[in-house]
Amino acid sequence: MNPDQPVRQSELERLVTAFRLLADPGRLRLVAALLEDRELPVRALSRAAALSETATSQQLRVLREAGVVRRRRLGRQILYRLNGGDARALARTGITRAAFRSSYSTRKDATVTYIIAEPCIDIKDKSCVDVCPVDCIHEFDRILVIDPEECIDCGACEPECPVEAIFPEDALPDKWEPFVKINYAYRDATDGDTADVINRLVDDYAREHNVQNEPIN
Ligand code: SF4
Ligand code: SF4
């Protein structure tokens, strides 16, 4: 996306409508139950969304009138499925992230996070950013770092790095130990100082270690 390109008012209004539709927990659970091209009757949706059948029918009517779901009769059953559109796309993104977080809910007790180390300095091709499901990789002047609080340790970024800069913290080579501090500075730096702290730490490290990483093609 080009951040300089203004988004049309009509598109913003469509997004606002989609956010409003999903801002109700019951409706969001209904939409989530219908992701992956499922087609379900009211009774199954009621169970999936933890709503009474009456409440389920009411919310499905709201979603149908907004064009988020459609229905068809099959014998004696009415089956519902999702249409395409903003609400579906937003729900898919949000639910995917929530599912990742849920499946890694032991994170607070975990001792491992991922660390970006020296080979990233001045390379920054951002291959890792595209695959991170929780958008916890952040760019600074000469390096990217991983937010240790938000990282869910999925490991998706590690094989994407063309210069092998990403390691689980417990497998980081000893020589790159300073990068634990650099990545954790994203969490530990005082608000407003984060960029200054990380940029200074990286500059100091690069100077002391005479880092001259070759650009990649
Ligand atoms: S391991 Fe990598 S891809 Fe997965 S959440 Fe952490 S930073 Fe993102
Ligand atoms: S893929 Fe590797 S080199 Fe590229 S930005 Fe991520 S950590 Fe840095």
Among the listed residues 100, 115, 105, 133, the one whose alpha carbon sits nearest the alpha carbon of residue 175: 115
Ligand 2: distance of its center to the CA of 136 in Å? Answer: 13
Q: Which burial class, exposed, middle or buried, applies to 100 when counting CB atoms under 10 A from its CB (0-12, 13-18, 19+)?
A: middle
Does a structural domain hold residue 114? yes
Pair (71, 127) in one structural domain: no
Residue 135 belongs to domain spanning: 109-208
Q: Of 30, 59, 91, which one is at a domain's C-terminal end?
A: 91
pLDDT in single tens digits along all 217 residues of the chain:
555 678 888 888 988 998 999 999 999 999 999 997 789 999 999 999 999 999 999 999 999 999 999 999 999 899 999 998 888 888 888 887 777 666 655 444 455 689 999 999 999 999 999 999 889 999 999 999 999 988 988 899 999 999 999 999 999 999 999 999 999 999 888 767 999 999 999 999 999 999 999 888 7
pTM of the model: 0.61
Contact 115, 150 (CB under 8 A): no
Ligand 2: distance of its center to the CA of 161 in Å? Answer: 5
User: Distance between CA atoms of 146 and 18, rounded to whole angstroms?
Assistant: 31
User: Distance between CA atoms of 142 and 148, rounded to whole angstroms?
Assistant: 19
Share in percent of the chain as helix, strand, coil (round to 5): 50, 10, 35
Q: Ligand 1 in contact with 80 (CB < 6 A)? A: no
Question: Domains in the chain: how many in total?
Answer: 2
Contact 86, 14 (CB under 8 A): yes
Contact 42, 78 (CB under 8 A): yes
In CATH, what number is assigned to the domain containing residue 130?
3.30.70.20
Ligand 2: distance of its center to the CA of 93 in Å? Answer: 23
Pair (119, 194) in one structural domain: yes
Residue 137 CA: nearest ligand 1 atom is: 7
User: Distance between CA atoms of 91 and 18, rounded to whole angstroms?
Assistant: 9
